[in-house]
Structure 1
Amino acid sequence: MTMSSFRLTERQQFWLFFAIALVILAAGIGLRDPWPADEPRFTLVAKQMIESGNWLIPHRGSELYSDKPPMFMAMQAFFYTLTGQWRVAFLLPSLLAGLGMLWLVYDLGRRLWNPRAGLYAAAALLCTFQFVYQVKRAQIDPTVCFFLTLANYGLLRHFLLGPDWRAYWLGCFAAGLGVITKGVGVLALFMFLPYLFARWQRWEHLPRIEGGAWRWLGGALAFVAAVALWLGPLFVAARTQDSPEFAAYLDDILFRQTAGRYTQSWDHHQPPWYYLPIVLFTWLPLSLAYPWTVPAWARSLRLRDARVLLPLAWVVIIIVFFTFPKGKRDVYIMPALPLVALLVGAQLETFAQRPAFRRAVFGFTVLLAVLFLAIGGYAWSGQWPRANLLVEQRGFEGGGAMLWGFIVAIGAVAALAALAFRVRRSLYGLVATLAAIWLGWSLWAYPILNDSTSAALVMRRTGEMIGPDGELGLVAWKEQNLLLVDRPARDFGFVRSWPEQLALARTWVLEQPEKRWLFILDQALGECVDKDKSRYVGHANRREWLLIRADAFKDGCDPRSKAGTAGDDPDD
C-alpha cells in the first residue's frame, strides 16, 4: 500500500481543519469567568435580561445601558437558557462567530478559485493572532465581524459568481444584523463602490447580472428588515412607556453612540498611522506573506481581475474609514481581516514552498522561541521588577511560578518545533507553536489568572465576610463585582458620581445598620468615611476593595459636599 492511498480527500481535509479549529477556539470554555474590560459588562447585561425578562432594552444594574445595541447580550442570554452555565454561555457567540468566519472564507475561496485556495485562506485566518485572541473573548467585535463577513460573502457571490439574488439579499440582511449588533454593519455595503467601478471599466470575472430594479431594491428591504427586528419593537416600547428615560436611551443609542462617536471620538485617541502596526504585527503570522502577496495582487489588478479588486478595495476603504476619526482601536479594522486572509489564501499555494518564504516562517518560529524563553526565564528568576510587581498585584500563589512556567513551556515547544521541522517544513513548526500558545493560554493560564482578573476571589471573600444573612450594597463598583456577587445586591447607579452614590448608600445602610454592608472602592471613601473602620477585602483589577458599615460614616458629613469627593477611578 503506497503513501498516496492515505491522502485525504478535499472534504476530509476541510473537516479535519474544522475539527482542529474547534479544539483551538473552544479550548478553555468553562474554565474562567468574564474578564474586564468589556466581558463582565456584556455578561451582566445578559444576566439581567434573564432575571428581568426584558431582552429589548438592556440595563447595567439599576441604570439603562445605551452604549451598545442588545443583540450580542441577547445571544449570550439565549445560550444561557440552553446551557444554564454563564461560564459557557458568555463565550459561545464569539466561538460560533469564529467558526462561521472560517467556513465563509473557505467556501468563498473554494468558489472563487479552488478548494485548496479556500483551505489555505481559512488556515491563514486561524493562524492570525488577532483573530484567535478576539474569538476567544466575549466582546461584540467577533460577532459583528461575522455579520460583516457574511454580508461580504453574499455580495461577492452575487457580484463575482452571480447572478445569485438570494446570496445578495442574504448579504444585505447580514449587514442589517451588523447594524443592530454594533452599528457598523452598513460598512459592508461599501462593496458596491469597487463593484460599480469594475462594471464601468469592464473588468474580468464579472458575470452579466440581469434583473429588474425590484430585485436590487430587495437588498435595501432586506437591510431595513434586519434593522427593524430591533428598532421596531424598541420604538413601540418607547412610545407605549412614554418615559423620558427611554427617550434619552433612544437618542443616545441612535445618535451619540453611532454618528456622534465617529465624528467626535471621546476616547481611544490615536495618531493617523495607528493601523499600520496593527496590519503588520497584530495580523502576524499572516502578514509574513505580504512580500509575496502584494506583488501578486498588483499583477492581478493589472490583469483587471475583479476577484482581487473587490475584496482588496473594501479592505482599503475600511482601514481609511477608521483612520479619519481620532478614536481608534485595533478591533475596528478586524472585519477587514477575513478578506485579507481570503486574498492571501488565493496566492499562498504558489509561494508556500519557496525557500525564502519558508525561511521567513522558520525565522518567525525561532523568534517566538527566543522571546518566550527569555521573558519567561527572566521573570522566573525573580530579577525582573515589573514581573515581581505583577505577581504582587495579582496575588499569585507560589510567586507566579505557574505563569512563568507556562511562558517558558511555550518557548520550549517553539524551539523543539523549529529543530524538528527545520526550514523545509517550517509551516508545520509554526502551526505546532501556535497551537501550543493558544491551548496553553486556554488550559494553563486561564485557571491561574481567573481569580484576580475576574474579581471572583474578591467577591467570594466579600460573601464570606458579611455572612449568609448580610445585605450588600455596591459603591464605585465595576461590572464584574455585581456579576459575581453571591446574592442580590443593591447598587446606587454606575455612571452617577461616587459622592452621589455614597450619599444614597449611606441612607440605605443606616436603615438597617445591623445587617447591611457596603462594598466600596478605596478611592471612593472620601472625607466622610473613617477608613480605620473599614475592612479590607482584597485587590482585583488593579483596585483595592473594602467593606464598610454604618458606623464608618462620620456624623454630619455629607458625601456630596466638596470635602466628601474622591479621586478618579483608573481605567480597566
Structure 2
Amino acid sequence: MSTTLLRHHWRLLTLLALLLALAAGIGLRAPTPPDEPRFVLAARAMVETGQWLLPHRGSELYAEKPPVFMWMQAATYKVIGHWNLAFLLPSLLAALATLWLSWDLAGRLWNRRVAWWAVLALASCLQFGLMAKRAQIDMVLVALTTLSLWALLRYLLERPDKRLLWVAGFAAGLGTVTKGVGFLPLLVLLPWALWRWKGRPHGAAALPRARALLWLIPAFVLGTAVWLGPLGIALLNDPSPELQGYARELLFKQTGTRYANAWHHVQPAWYYLQVIATLWLPGSLLLPALLPGWWRRLRRGDGRWWLLLGWSLLVLLFFSASPGKREVYIFPMLPALCVAAAPLLPGLLRRAGTRWLLLAYVLVLGVAATGIGAELLADGAWAHAQLAKRGMPDVLLPVLGGWLLGFGVLVLLLAAWLRQRRAGPLVVITALLLWNLHGWGLMPALGPYSSASALMQQVGERIGPSAKLGALAWREQNLLQADRPVTDFGFKRPWDDQWHDAGPWLAQAPHNRWLLVLEQAISPCVKRDQAVMIGSSNRNQWWLVPGTAWDPACHAALPRDAGAGVDDGD
C-alpha cells in the first residue's frame, strides 16, 4: 500500500474517531444547568402550543435570547421525537460544520495539508469540545460566524464573487438574531481596509472594489428578517403591553445595555487572558511560539494573516471593552486562530521544546484524572464532601472513580508509548478520549442529579399521581423534569408576589395541591411542621408545601433581601 493511500486511510479513521467522540453519549442525558433547561423548556412549549414566535419560560415570556436556537431544537424534536437526543443535535451539527469550514478555508488559503492541521488543532482545544457537547447557543453562533468569515475571506482574498457576499451577509444577519453578536465577522473589513491602504502585496488576488461590499447590507437584513420580520408583523398587529415589553427587553436591554452597562458577569479587562490560558488548552501553550511567526508574516504583508489575526484581535478588544464578560464570548475567535496557526504547526512540532510542553500537558491531565479517580474509589472524606455539596449520593463514587481512573491510566500508558517524539498525535488522541469520558461516563452518571430529574422523580412519588403540583422560586429544570403539568406563578416576579397567587391556589384544594418551593423562599405563612424537605439539586434545598400547610389568615412577608428568579444565561 502506498504511503499516500495509507495516510488517506489514517485521516479517514481519525475523522471517524473525532465524529464518534463529539457524538459520544448523545441521548443519554437530560438538559443540565445553567442554560440547557431554559432553552429546551421554551422549545418544548413551542411544540406543545404551536406558538413559535415568542418563547416562553413557564407562564412568562422569555426575553433574554432570540428564539432561533430554540426553533432549531423544536424542529429537531419534530423530526426525531426524543428530547434527550434532539436538544443536543444542533450543537453537534454546528460543531461539524465549523470543523468543515475551517478545513475548507485553510485548504483554500494554503493547501490540504494545512487544512488537516487546522481541523486537528481546533478539535483538540478544550472549549471547542465542551461547546460541541452542550446545548448552548454559542456553538451554533460560532458555526454562523465561521460561515460568514469563510465567505468574506474567500471574497476578499480568493475571488470577488458576489454570491459569497450574500452568504457572508446572510450568515452574519442570522447569527445576529441567534445571539446578538453575530455581526462580528463584518469587522474583518477593517483589517482588510488597512491592508489595502498599505498597498497590495506581491502575489495577492485582484482586490475587490469597496463599492461591491454594499451587497452585504441587503444580505444582512435578509438574515435578520428570519426573526425580525415575523416579530415586526406581530408588533404591528398586536399593540399589547406584554409584546411591546418583550421587544424592548430583547432588542435594547439584552443587546445594547447588556454590552455597555452590564449588570452581571462583571469582570476585569484582562479576564479573557485567563480564559485563553485555560479553556484554549493545549493550543494556548503554543501561543508564545506562534506570536513571533505571526508577526513576521504580518510584516511581510501577507493578507491571509492580516485578516485572520486582525479580525481576532478586534473581537478580543470588542468584548474586553464591555464590563460584562463570560468565557464563551470570545469563542468565535478560536476557529480563525486555529486556521492562522495551522501553517506554522508542523514547524513548531519539530522543536523538542514544543513537544515536551505538549507531553507535560497530557501528563498533568493523566495524573490529575488518575489521582481524583483513585481518591473517589478510596471512599475518603474529601470524595464524600464533594458529592454532599451537590446533593449527590455516594453510589456515584465507584462509577465516577472508575471512569476517571481508567481514563487517567490509559492516557499515561499512551504517553509512555508515544513519548515526546509523537506529542502531536498524543494530544489529539487524548482529546478524543476526554470527550468519550465526558459523553459515556461522567455526564450520564451525573445527569439525574444535575438535571433535577432525580429530585422531580421524588416529588412525583411523594405527592402521588393524582395531585396537582405548583412551583415557586423554581428553576427551569424543575418544570422540564416534572412528571405532570406544573402551575407556576412567574419566574422573575418577586417571591412575595408569587406567594400572593400561590397561597389562594393552594387554599382552593388544600388536600390535593402541593407547592415545590426553594428553601429561601418559604413564606412565614407556611406551617413548617407540615412541609416536607424533599431533597437538594444544584446546591439548592427544595421543600414540598401541601395546601394544608398554608395559613390563609396570615399576611406576613418575606425578608426584604429575598430575591426572585434571575437569568444567569449567556
TM over 0.5: yes
* Distance 1:210-1:32 versus aligned 2 partners, 3 A rule: closer
Give the distance between the partners of 2:62 and 2:502, measured in 1 at CA.
21
Q: Which blocks of at least 5 consecutive residues in structure 2 are unaligned?
A: none
Corresponding residue for residue 115 of structure 1: 112
1:423-455 deviation digits (Å, cap 9, x = unpaired): 211222222222222101110112210111000
Give the distance between the partners of 1:121 and 1:549, measured in 2 at CA.
58
1:210-255 deviation digits (Å, cap 9, x = unpaired): 5694x43221100001111211110111221220110111111111
Give the distance between the partners of 1:391 and 1:404, measured in 2 at CA.
16
Corresponding residue for residue 7 of structure 1: 6
* Distance 1:237-1:372 versus aligned 2 partners, 3 A rule: same
Give the distance between the partners of 1:568 and 1:469, measured in 2 at CA.
29
Indicate conservation of the 8 Å contact 1:526/1:564, yes or no: no
Corresponding residue for residue 372 of structure 1: 369
Indicate conservation of the 8 Å contact 1:526/1:566, yes or no: no
* Distance 1:105-1:447 versus aligned 2 partners, 3 A rule: same
1:352-407 deviation digits (Å, cap 9, x = unpaired): 23322222221211121222222333344344537524246332242622112222
Give the distance between the partners of 2:136 and 2:30, measured in 1 at CA.
13
Indicate conservation of the 8 Å contact 2:449/2:537, yes or no: yes
Identity %: 40
Q: Which blocks of at least 5 consecutive residues in structure 1 are unaligned?
A: none
**Letter of the structure 1 residue corresponding to residue 7 of structure 2:** L
Give the distance between the partners of 1:550 and 1:81, measured in 2 at CA.
38
Give the distance between the partners of 1:552 and 1:234, measured in 2 at CA.
44
Corresponding residue for residue 335 of structure 1: 332
- Equivalent position SS for 2:301: coil
The more displaced of 375-384 and 221-230 is 375-384
**After the TM superposition, which parts of structure 1 deviate over 4 Å for at least 4 consecutive aligned residues?**
12-15, 562-572
Corresponding residue for residue 93 of structure 1: 90
Q: 1:553 aligns with which of 550, 555, 560?
A: 550
* Distance 1:427-1:370 versus aligned 2 partners, 3 A rule: same
1:299-325 deviation digits (Å, cap 9, x = unpaired): 111111011110101111111111111
TM-score, normalised with respect to structure 1: 0.95
Corresponding residue for residue 323 of structure 2: 326
Give the distance between the partners of 1:571 and 1:221, measured in 2 at CA.
34
Give the distance between the partners of 2:237 and 2:11, measured in 1 at CA.
51
The more displaced of 92-101 and 13-22 is 13-22
Give the distance between the partners of 1:534 and 1:422, measured in 2 at CA.
60
* Distance 1:161-1:130 versus aligned 2 partners, 3 A rule: same
Corresponding residue for residue 385 of structure 2: 388
Q: 2:515 aligns with which of 518, 539, 546?
A: 518
- Equivalent position SS for 2:332: helix
- Equivalent position SS for 2:533: strand
1:302-350 deviation digits (Å, cap 9, x = unpaired): 1110111101011111111111111111100000000011011121122
**Letter of the structure 1 residue corresponding to residue 447 of structure 2:** N
1:78-125 deviation digits (Å, cap 9, x = unpaired): 000011011011111110110010000000000000001011001100
**Post-superposition shift, 1:522?**
1.7
Q: 2:158 aligns with which of 148, 158, 161?
A: 161
1:61-85 deviation digits (Å, cap 9, x = unpaired): 1111110000000100000001101
TM-score, normalised with respect to structure 2: 0.95
Corresponding residue for residue 540 of structure 2: 543
Corresponding residue for residue 40 of structure 2: 43
Give the distance between the partners of 1:513 and 1:394, measured in 2 at CA.
30
**Letter of the structure 2 residue corresponding to residue 434 of structure 1:** A
- Equivalent position SS for 1:265: coil
Q: 1:61 aligns with which of 55, 58, 62?
A: 58
Give the distance between the partners of 1:122 and 1:369, measured in 2 at CA.
24
Indicate yes or no: 2:218 matched with 1:221. Answer: yes
Q: 2:424 aligns with which of 413, 423, 427?
A: 427
Q: How many residues align?
A: 567
Taking the TM superposition and a 5 Å limit, the aligned residue runs for 1:28-427 are 28-204=25-201, 205-210=203-208, 213=211, 215-383=212-380, 385=382, 388-391=385-388, 393-398=390-395, 400-427=397-424
**Post-superposition shift, 1:564?**
9.4
- Equivalent position SS for 2:421: coil
Indicate conservation of the 8 Å contact 2:176/2:183, yes or no: yes
Indicate conservation of the 8 Å contact 1:322/1:328, yes or no: yes
Indicate conservation of the 8 Å contact 1:147/1:174, yes or no: yes
Indicate conservation of the 8 Å contact 2:492/2:564, yes or no: no
Indicate yes or no: 2:477 matched with 1:480. Answer: yes
**Post-superposition shift, 1:161?**
0.5
1:500-553 deviation digits (Å, cap 9, x = unpaired): 112211111211223221111122112111121012221111111121122111
* Distance 1:479-1:212 versus aligned 2 partners, 3 A rule: closer
**Post-superposition shift, 1:136?**
0.5
Indicate conservation of the 8 Å contact 1:413/1:433, yes or no: no
- Equivalent position SS for 1:396: coil
Give the distance between the partners of 1:307 and 1:511, measured in 2 at CA.
69
- Equivalent position SS for 1:272: coil
Indicate yes or no: 2:447 matched with 1:450. Answer: yes
Give the distance between the partners of 1:318 and 1:570, measured in 2 at CA.
28
**Letter of the structure 2 residue corresponding to residue 373 of structure 1:** T
- Equivalent position SS for 1:437: helix
Indicate yes or no: 2:493 matched with 1:491. Answer: no
The more displaced of 383-392 and 146-155 is 383-392
Give the distance between the partners of 1:233 and 1:5, measured in 2 at CA.
53
